[in-house]
Amino acid sequence: MRQHGYYGPPILILLGMFAASNAFAQQKTTATPEMALSDALSAACRQDADIFSNTLTSDNAKAYRALPGPQRTAMMKRFVLLEEPGRPLLSTSAGGQTIVRCESPGIATEMRFGETRLRENLAFVPMEIPIDGESPRSITFGLVREGGSWKLLSVGLILLDVPAMAKQWEQADLNAQEDSAVANLRAVATALDTYRRAYGNLPDDLAQLGPGPPNAVSPDAAGLVDADLAAGNKGGYNIRYNIVTSSANEMDESANKTESFALTASPQEYGKTGRRSFFLDSSGVLRGDDRHGAVATYTDPPIEPAS
């Protein structure tokens, strides 16, 4: 009897702990769609990429974690329509519906959940976002039960496919960097023309176009471009400059010679900072092609006419 009295309570305690632990685990894995969506929006409000990734399906979470930091942040911004990180506040309306409010410095957004529609392993949560002076913006989030927990599946009619989105964003980033490289070439070309009009000749190198001491513009520091362009490295591209000298009669060394310039821009990391290389000379005609990181030349096809 004494043995039973001695061993009984610990066994009951262990059984009780097991039951409580099992109940907690089941409660955690059967979280409601509203709770899962609140977690996602709260993480997006804080711009907490680690927590936000946990609200995605396994394939999307893996692809999301592999995105560059700015792209992960950009995706979270789209969910709460705010640029700066904020503080999430959860409340319940008089009708029992969830409200997620995201407060950032100077501005806040409020997301009001509607009645959830359940379809076996799918859930659809309608949401309204009030906008000052406009009609509320309505959107429906789709969630799927995965491993016992609800995960984000769609936003409106768009299925969340982070791997495909990553490819689109990567191409968009490359396009933007290439456009920036072209704009930088145009800016340098304009600076070279300005320099020639001011000093009667082209500079020996790009450094002479760069900034110098305040109120001390000179042929060696003309202040026509920023320090990055003057160094020949900007926006993930290497910019190179050459002077091209020619004369009306190549056989006559005493003939008047004219100077023109040639500029090139090639990606510093092919496939990451750009794909196309560019060539621009005094004619103003932009040329270029995908040269797998090699420098473009005057033989490349024209991309834009003279500006």
Give residue 233's pLDDT: 94
Give residue 27's pLDDT: 42
Cα–Cα dist 252/128, whole Å: 79
Cα–Cα dist 278/183, whole Å: 11
163-168 long-range Cβ contacts below 8 angstroms, 24+ apart: 163/59, 163/60, 163/63, 165/75, 166/63, 166/66, 166/67, 166/71
Degrees to nearest 5, angle at CA 40 with 36 and 43: 135
Give residue 16's pLDDT: 42
> Which tokens belong to 229?
């362009």
> Which tokens belong to 71?
């792209």
Distances (CA, A) of 126 to 13, 17, 52, 112, 141: 44, 39, 20, 8, 6
pTM of the model: 0.55
Give residue 36's pLDDT: 95
Cα–Cα dist 303/260, whole Å: 20
190: number of Cβ within 10 Å: 13
Give residue 247's pLDDT: 55
Give residue 307's pLDDT: 64
Of the candidates 1, 98, 89, the residue with the CA atom closest to the CA atom of residue 45: 89
Give residue 18's pLDDT: 38
Give residue 14's pLDDT: 37
Of the candidates 277, 195, 212, 211, the residue with the CA atom closest to the CA atom of residue 238: 277
Give residue 21's pLDDT: 44
Of the candidates 231, 236, 226, 261, the residue with the CA atom closest to the CA atom of residue 246: 261
Count of alpha carbons within 13 Å of 295, Cβ hemisphere only?
11
Contact assessment for residue 112 and residue 99, using Cβ atoms and an 8 Å cutoff: yes
pLDDT by position in tens, the chain (length 307):
344 443 344 443 333 443 444 444 444 444 899 999 999 999 999 999 999 999 999 999 999 999 888 889 989 998 888 889 999 999 998 888 899 999 998 889 999 999 999 988 999 999 998 877 778 889 999 999 998 899 999 987 677 777 776 777 777 788 889 999 999 999 999 999 999 999 999 999 999 999 988 888 899 999 999 999 999 999 999 999 999 887 545 545 544 567 899 999 999 999 889 999 999 999 999 999 999 999 999 999 999 776 6
Question: Quick one: CA dihedral 6, 11, 13, 14, positive or negative?
Answer: positive
Give residue 213's pLDDT: 85
